Amino acid sequence: MPAGVEFSLASSEDVMACSALPREESPAAGQTGKRRAVLIGNFTPRVCGIATFTRDLLGGLSGANDAVQWDVVAMNDREPGFYAFGPEVRHVIQQETAADYLRTADAINRSNAEAVFVQHEFGIFGGPAGEHVLLLLRRIRAPVIVTLHTVLASPNDDQRRVLEEIIGLSAAVVVMAATGARLLAEVYNAPSDRIRVIPHGAPTRPRLPTASFKKRLGLERRQTLLTFGLLSPNKGIETIIRAMPEILRRAPDALYLVAGATQPNLVRERGEEYREGLMRLAAELGVEQSIQFIDKYLSDEELVDLLQASDVYVTPYLTEAQITSGTLSYAIALGRPIVSTPYWHASEALADGVGVLCPFGDTSCFARTIGDLLVDDARRADLAQRAWRYGLSSRWPNVGAAYLRLAGLLSGSLMETGSRRGSRLWGQGHAAINSWDRRTVRAWRWRHMAQITSLGALGAE
């Protein structure tokens, strides 16, 4: 692994959305007394993981420093006006309209923003491999920090070209797992001092007894398994459905909750074919009474309630190349016992006993592991405690503070820009990782989580 990459956590001291027509101009930064920064990406009410992430990151950033005025630029993949964005969205970029990217860059430059944070996924920007985003980045004068939600191990030529130029135009690139940092250095030749690792954020909520949430949701007589998120074939839900006969032999009152609407693009292309196939499979196996599909886009409150009512959280994803999972981050932060396949994020986050890993598509492993957990209260409690402690560092207030420190917007000091393409970033609260051995990274995180826990800054019980 490359030396010099930084793994960033704040200490307690501190895929797919816009005619660039500005909304009513907000007051200039000098008039409000606030410094100004910009956040670009998909944004709610658009239904996708990056939209939710961008909204939650905005909350974390604002909570960490309310002296910064944030202007959101939302990406739009539908006809103009399709999404009813809120007042925090100052500009909208129509995904396939190149001129919108240029006009938005000019508006950002006129706003005197001190930093620009971009959420990147190839599919949310127009052009081959999302190359229209380069029009924006080449023109923006402020330092740009890009969060990469996907880092491909085997990119095609366009994907490699676009991402390498994004790296060159950025003051820093952020990934959410150590594997992403390694790929950036090895596959895309990213300078190690430009890479930062900041974990995916997760909600802050006190730990409360599972029984109270089960009673609220009418689940008090069931042992609950949960998978949530937008439904698509790569989620591997069929693996758990096939495991249910054996799970029910061990725990007859088990109930598998599959929560979330089907991925919107999948619905447009193929309807509810995948969900209907899962329901047929459950019926064929005679377990349809022990599986409940919650076919809706759940609010944050509903999701967190379901998580806190779950006895075991499951991510049976089918492919290794997933650098981050927001649903996994939520489950860890809320202290759920977790069983997962070893995709990249899970392999890192669940190591050292934080969770349990089963091979991809291994129905027998999932059946055995989940069955064991459902009949062993002490083991579940131990896994829950390990996950909760591990997740303390990834609460949104801490993640927001880490991003602000990276940009110099937390303590009042500015990023050293000089030449933007060669700027060196700095910030207190960043711990340098000189070796990308996974054991080194994990040991560093455990030390910092212990410090955060002892200071009691996160509102946990």
- Kindly state whether residue 428 falls inside one of the protein's structural domains: no
Percentage of the chain lying above the pLDDT 90 cut: 73
Same domain, 160 and 225: no
As a whole number, mean pLDDT of residues 157-163 equals 98
Contact 145, 137 (CB under 8 A): no
Eight-state DSSP code of residue 78: S
- Kindly state whether residue 450 falls inside one of the protein's structural domains: no
Domain boundary (335, 367, 393) is at 393
- Kindly state whether residue 385 falls inside one of the protein's structural domains: yes
Q: What is the pLDDT of residues 35-86, one digit of tens each?
A: 999 999 999 999 888 999 999 999 999 999 889 999 999 999 999 999 999 9
Contact 196, 8 (CB under 8 A): yes
Same domain, 331 and 188: no
Domain count, the chain: 2
How many Cα neighbours within 13 Å face the side chain of 344?
18
Pick 151 or 422 by higher pLDDT. 151
CATH number of the domain bearing residue 256: 3.40.50.2000
Q: What is the pLDDT of residues 387-439, one digit of tens each?
A: 999 999 899 999 999 999 999 875 444 343 333 433 333 232 333 333 334 44
- Kindly state whether residue 444 falls inside one of the protein's structural domains: no
Same domain, 46 and 173: yes
Q: How far is CA 265 from CA 46, 199, 273, in A?
A: 12, 27, 13
Both tokens assigned to 155: 């990119």
Eight-state DSSP code of residue 262: B
Residue range of the domain that includes 282: 210-393
Same domain, 108 and 226: no
Domain boundary (145, 170, 197) is at 197
- 132-139 helix and 157-169 helix, angle to the nearest 10 degrees: 10
Q: What is the structure's pLDDT at 299?
A: 85
- Kindly state whether residue 216 falls inside one of the protein's structural domains: yes
Same domain, 106 and 215: no
First to last CA, the chain: 37
- Kindly state whether residue 430 falls inside one of the protein's structural domains: no
How many Cα neighbours within 13 Å face the side chain of 422?
2
As a whole number, mean pLDDT of residues 261-285 equals 94
Average pLDDT over all residues of the chain: 85
- Kindly state whether residue 384 falls inside one of the protein's structural domains: yes
As a whole number, mean pLDDT of residues 105-111 equals 98
- Kindly state whether residue 143 falls inside one of the protein's structural domains: yes
Instruction: Report d(CA 207, CA 186) in Å as an integer.
Output: 40
Q: What is the pLDDT of residues 198-217, one digit of tens each?
A: 999 998 877 788 999 999 99
